[in-house]
Amino acid sequence: MKSCLIVSGGYEPHRPHDAAAIVAGELEQQGFSVTLSDTLSAYDDLDLGSYDLIVPNWTIGEMSVPTAKRLWAAVEAGTGLGGFHGGMADAFRNSDRFRFIVGGSYAAEPGGVTDYRVNITRPDDPVMQGLSDFDYRSEQYFLHVDPSVEVLATTTYDGSVYDWLDGAVMPVVWKKRFGKGRVFFSALGHVPEEFDVPEMRTLLIRGLVWAAR
């Protein structure tokens, strides 16, 4: 049985614990044993390398250099890292090491919650197989992204908020390698109700399963 650690907390409007419960239930159906933690000390107190998958679900927060090095070592050695929205892309703004592992970081959400289109760029990838472009309502994250990530889905800004962004294409879903570890990220999932969108739920769980050792 594969093991997963989900560390949840931080920005309460994201309702991280509700989202964690949904993800935990989905992963348990995939045969995972899931440990839920609501304290950042888990990154120091637990043996990170013993988990097959770690899901950071803590928007903002702080991560010390020694803690970031512990996580780096675990992922580099083969522990998977996967997450969604601000719980991963807007976590630990003070940690360049964490952002480097993730492959990108939050910069803005032009217009706040809005309607936009998610375009599947790699329909041949197992994570995206069978999924088609879909309409979505959430924060349309503007991200600073590592050019080496493998982009699986994008969105295009229409310039309605900032005209200079008209036509800008932004990655929404990506995966990458980090040493022997796999990393997966989806920008979707601002609030738990978004898990009711089948495409969002499907690609996230598939991505987390892919990332696991």
Q: Where are the beta strands (DSSP E) in 14-100?
A: 32-37, 53-59, 80-84
Strands 142-145, 32-37: pairing is unpaired
Q: For residue 122, what is the domain's CATH number?
A: 3.40.50.880
pLDDT in tens, the chain (213 residues): 999 999 999 999 999 999 999 999 999 999 999 999 999 999 999 999 999 999 999 999 999 999 999 999 999 999 999 999 999 999 999 999 999 999 999 999 999 999 999 999 999 999 999 999 999 999 999 999 999 999 999 999 999 999 999 999 999 999 999 999 999 999 999 999 999 999 999 999 999 999 999
Domain span at 23: 2-211
CA distance 8 to 50: 19
How many structural domains comprise the chain? 1
The single-letter DSSP state of residue 160 is S
Q: Tokens at residue 149, please?
A: 């990530």
pTM reported for the whole predicted model:
0.98
- 177-213 as b/e: b if 16+ CB within 10 A: ebeebbbbbbbbbbebebbebebbbbbbbbbbbbbbb
